[in-house]
Amino acid sequence: MELQKITGQRVGDHYFKYSHPTGLTIYLYPKESGNTTYAIFGTKYGSIDNCFRRSDEPGPETVPEGIAHYLEHKLFESEDGDAFARFAQTGASANAYTSFESTCYLFSCTERFHESLEILLDFVQSPYFTEETVAKEQGIIGQEIKMYDDDPQWRVMFNYLRAMYHAHPIHLDIAGTVESIAQITPEYLYRCYNTFYNLHNMALVIVGKFDKDEVLALCDKMLKPCAPVRVDRVFPEEPEAIVEPKVEERLAVALPLFQFGFKDDGGTPKTEKDLAAMEILLDVLASESSPLFRQLLDEGLINESSFSYEYFEGAGYATVMFGGESHDPEAVAKAINQEIARLEREGIPQDAFERAKRALYGENVSALNSAASIANGVLSLTLKGRELFTYIDALATVTIDEVAQKLGTLREDHSVLSVIRPL
């Protein structure tokens, strides 16, 4: 049993990587501090994976939107009952989520860890779909879709993505539409399950107090061998240009909500250094200690509690986003563009760069005290071909020139403003 030890020299921490004979990659991160042990079992399969090609088949296949999310709901059911009820018996707190690029099942507990891990490994590998249960779920998920249709935060985000992306499925709702989920059958669910829930396409991360040998022995007992099928995502060609620069809608909100940002090059894979440089740039540009934030606050254009920013990127898409509440979203967008132009003209101040770099490095090192943060971070990075300590090292070593280069990707002619105004 060959465990690869991965050490973060800067942070003085380590974890173990194990390639199980079934194809599953297992990460074991011992944490003696804290009382909680956290496990997350995830597959590289999300809402954007509606067209795919298996390595053992000649051509691509297209399936209805929303199947990844549908599968997540259905996997908790089995002939013997509900997985949540099984976790309740061990005292574990369980959950699951579907994102654009992954589906993950998790639990945390303070005792009876091995019993809970056995439940996790069992139900995720035991699909059970019938015509009756699938039809029942269509009504439940249909209600969920309608609920999100009325959610202003959800609408401002997806209006933004639809105004930015012509063809990439990132602009499609994670849950699909009422029409698309009506097409889902047990056959579709088994087809997508057997394609994406292949252990070669999955990872298991465990963080906390546990015995490595006992965990791996349980994995040997529970994991089911499967053929090494590779799955390629097939995306339509996405133009460089945006769809439209501005989109508005009216809903029941007290103040206008906005999402403003820039379309980046999604076709080039992003490294840990790319992420670090962009996140430091966003901190320099719009954190609470930045001139832009103080200006927006002083002019009453934003409120402190709602303003946010992030770099949102993945397979074939990438965008820098700012969001929040404002009585004048257009003025916020104009101020952001002006500040970007100023930084391009005058350069990024060295002291602002050093402050942002220290702040982000400190935040990420501090997150290593949380079992949940570590587990979700390791899994998210792994499914995108990245590594946790490499990312933290990138934050420590990125240069001001590398950060300044990212300013060139924030082009005004590639920007979108999405606004939800009061009725």
Domains of the chain: which residue ranges? 4-233, 246-422
| The pLDDT of residue 135 is above 90 | no
72 is catalytic: yes
* Fold of the CATH domain 246-422: Cytochrome Bc1 Complex; Chain A, domain 1 (3.30.830)
Confidence of residue 144 (pLDDT cuts 50, 70, 90): confident
Q: Mean pLDDT over residues 41-70, rounded?
A: 95
Q: Which of 65, 72, 272, 279 is catalytic?
A: 72
pLDDT at 1: 60
Query: For the chain, what percent of residues have pLDDT higher than 70?
Result: 100
**How far is 273 from 398, CA to CA, in rounded Å?**
7
Q: How far apart are CA 7 and CA 65, in angstroms?
A: 40
Which band of pLDDT confidence, cut at 50, 70 and 90, is reported for residue 347? Answer: very high
Tens digit of each residue's pLDDT (9 = 90 or more) over 109-123: 999 999 999 999 999
Judged against a pLDDT cut of 70, whether residue 346 lies above it is answered with yes
The CATH number of 4-233, from 2.160.20.10, 3.30.830.10, 1.10.10.10, 3.90.1150.10, is: 3.30.830.10
Distance CA 384, CA 378 (A): 10
Query: Degrees (nearest 5) of the Cα angle 150, 154, 157?
Result: 135
Q: What number is the average pLDDT over the span 216-220?
A: 97
120, two tokens: 């996790």
Tokens of 132: 């009756």
pLDDT at 385 over 90: yes
- pLDDT attached to residue 2: 80
Residue 21 has pLDDT above 80, yes or no: yes
Could you tell me the pTM of the whole model? 0.94
- Write the pLDDT tens digit of every residue in 224-282: 998 899 999 999 999 999 999 999 999 999 999 999 999 999 888 899 999 999 999 99
